[in-house]
Structure 1
């Protein structure tokens, strides 16, 4: 057996314990009166409707003209994009073509404390009608919450001459730039135009050099820059004294798309959770008790490999929660539902099974007369393909569940949006758990076991399930 350096056990174990702690509690800081979250933990998980409750709202077009089926479908798809862009999969979305209605149910935000349904649906029904217009004429002026004037309702040439619309935008993202004069930072929204938008904007900036092209969100002017040069590369920015949150929210609205008509909320209400906070707390206690029993079993039956398995299982559980909470900057937060919890539990069971298979094979080789190093190497080799076969089939199933029952599912007409979203959640957490099993239950376990076997105190075969000597 190829020896693994002794420090490897401590390095791997400390990394797993660090991940476990930070994924559970997160890392937060205090800046004056503001609390900053640097790494998200379990408390940042967005719980699904079935656990935390949520909102039910009915939207209708704010017009007396009957909407077409295509317009209703377009509005529905945009609302769905807004949901999935926030990684909220635990939602239900229905259309009623006869009465021009869209019914949606979605969970509360994880940091929601006021539980105001009207506020919760506001960002969903926002029309986000972005337009670039010639000139900067407006009808009325109001004072904003910051005391600055807000210009509303375009008029004259500005009302009649639309240069770009939301459909001309390819992508939008929040950016930060440094003012070279003052040295202060400011937030803005960077836009990339599609081919048609690039052509329109190049023509407009050439025609209107030295003049104003105003930018409007719905009927509010958010910026009125003067054209200083012809822009032909299809890239521009929106500046409007934004905060970081405002720039990000505006970019998200533009990316999500503009609704085909303004929506009014004809009805909204709260949805009570099937599983309340007390039940969730009871589930947490039950999970801790179950994990403790598993730890005792692994230590009693498999001894040192059982101890290593416990550390690996902590890492697998931590990874599952980290992939849901938004712990990793490159992975969006995910709505945790009851089926999602079931996926984590099933994957933990697979992780326990993987460690038991490996430990059992090592024990069998020791009783067959192998040396300790030989038994560990042979046990690892003999157990790998059994673990691989079982886990790879579960990964395939999880991917099928996510592909078929996900946001772009093809079976919602058979099973309904509620069921398809729940199954997607189950597939997601199951997939992450099985990946964690390969990372921790296979790779990390074997590294730690081989590293420990290099210590003199850990050379006894009895510690690995062999005969006492």
Structure 2
């Protein structure tokens, strides 16, 4: 690392304190009775059903329409995708095939004040917009109305499962023109704003009967894709049969108790590492504060390109686990600095050696957690997400499924680990190297060594 100047400590500390204040408090103004939110804070977190309560709604086809089991499964699949795509990671969805009903439970929005269930369920019941587009996101080739049916079939040559499509006459004409023009290229399949597949065009399809294949397709994955396509081609819009509010099983009081317990635990851990490691312990506490603030910011939607997430109990567990890893990283480094001082190294030499010799162990532990979190987000997040596409070859061993609770855990874990690298490794080293330049902090005792009486 290049030479670190004295001002670096104040710069990094100011950035961390500023991030902490903004991520927790947010920034908003009120003009008359109209509030404007510029930066979201902890008050804008969307809490899970257990903590805040939510909506219980029953969807059904229009009166008199007898939906098939395949159509009900398709409708359920669309609701799941919409939930996770909107980062509603705490929901319960049940389908009653005998009575053609879908029961959905999900939490209130973070800014919901009037608890209007009717307004909360409008988007979920709308017919999904299915489109086939040229390339990754080009002009529309055909829409859901052009698909009569999608179902799972077996490739007669390989025996692998495929998704078979039957198009309308208009759809067959449009698809024939597009596949003839795009041979060797891809046609992506979109559900609303979520890409669910991107198959390659091998031949021109003129008869309106197409198949989507992949060497890694499992039967479950093929059925999942067929359900999504059928959902976009549903001939009906789901009707709201009834809806009601759900009372929280834990409640905001329990949430406040958890937050209080977390603050107390953070204070006790901070006192412990300051007593044990002195000045490196103080630096570690500042870095941990930045790690917590970064995780909260990624949940509230603080950063422009990162949408807000529902904070569930598994999500809270992910934050706690990542903070534990942050504490571990700082303890390992601080302990190593003490050891380097005991063998006679200078303060600068001990700091450099302490960080460099512990980096490999910290990196290995953190990258393992990142890989686990990425697999969870790829397997249980939106099918069009970057992780789902990246890990598609692995998913042949298990079918993908949009499961918000697991996705929430993976998300909070991965952002926590990323901020552990930024704060527990990079920021800690910058601050410690900087503050050690001041004469008042050149005593080895402050870093765990023997007191210098000079």
Per-residue deviation, 1:339? 1.1
**Superposition map of 1:29-178 within 5 A:** 29-127=29-127, 167=130
- Residue 122 of structure 2 aligns to a residue in which SS? helix
Alignment correspondent of 1:5 = 5
Work out the CA distance in 2 between the residues paired with 1:22 and 1:33. Answer: 23
Contact 1:168/1:193, CA 8 A, preserved across alignment: no
**Superposition map of 1:265-280 within 5 A:** 265-280=240-255
Work out the CA distance in 1 between the residues paired with 2:69 and 2:105. Answer: 21
Q: What are the Cα deviations for residues 23-55 of structure 1, in whole angstroms up to 9, with x where unaligned? A: 000011123331111111111110011211111
- Residue 195 of structure 1 aligns to a residue in which SS? strand
Matched, 1:375 2:350: yes
**Superposition map of 1:69-468 within 5 A:** 69-127=69-127, 167=130, 193-196=139-142, 255=193, 260-408=235-383, 420-468=403-451
Per-residue deviation, 1:426? 1.3
Alignment correspondent of 2:159 = none
Work out the CA distance in 2 between the residues paired with 1:101 and 1:26. Answer: 41
Alignment correspondent of 1:183 = none
Normalization by structure 1: what TM-score? Answer: 0.71
Work out the CA distance in 2 between the residues paired with 1:170 and 1:414. Answer: 25
Alignment correspondent of 1:235 = none
Work out the CA distance in 1 between the residues paired with 2:362 and 2:305. Answer: 29
Work out the CA distance in 2 between the residues paired with 1:274 and 1:338. Answer: 12
Runs of 5+ unmatched residues, structure 1: 129-165, 172-190, 201-252
Work out the CA distance in 2 between the residues paired with 1:279 and 1:81. Answer: 30
Work out the CA distance in 1 between the residues paired with 2:50 and 2:407. Answer: 15
Contact 2:76/2:102, CA 8 A, preserved across alignment: yes
Contact 2:28/2:35, CA 8 A, preserved across alignment: yes
- Return closer, same or farther for 1:91/1:170 CA change in 2, 3 Å cut-off: farther
**Aligned length in residues:** 357
Contact 2:300/2:308, CA 8 A, preserved across alignment: yes
| Worse-superposed segment, 254-263 or 105-114 | 254-263
Q: What are the Cα deviations for residues 334-387 of structure 1, in whole angstroms up to 9, with x where unaligned? A: 000011111111111110110011110000000111111111111111111111
Higher strand proportion: 1
Q: What are the Cα deviations for residues 37-86 of structure 1, in whole angstroms up to 9, with x where unaligned? A: 11111111100112111112111100413112332233223322322332
- Residue 254 of structure 2 aligns to a residue in which SS? helix
Work out the CA distance in 1 between the residues paired with 2:131 and 2:275. Answer: 65
- Residue 236 of structure 2 aligns to a residue in which SS? coil
Normalization by structure 2: what TM-score? Answer: 0.73
Per-residue deviation, 1:287? 1.3
Per-residue deviation, 1:267? 3.1
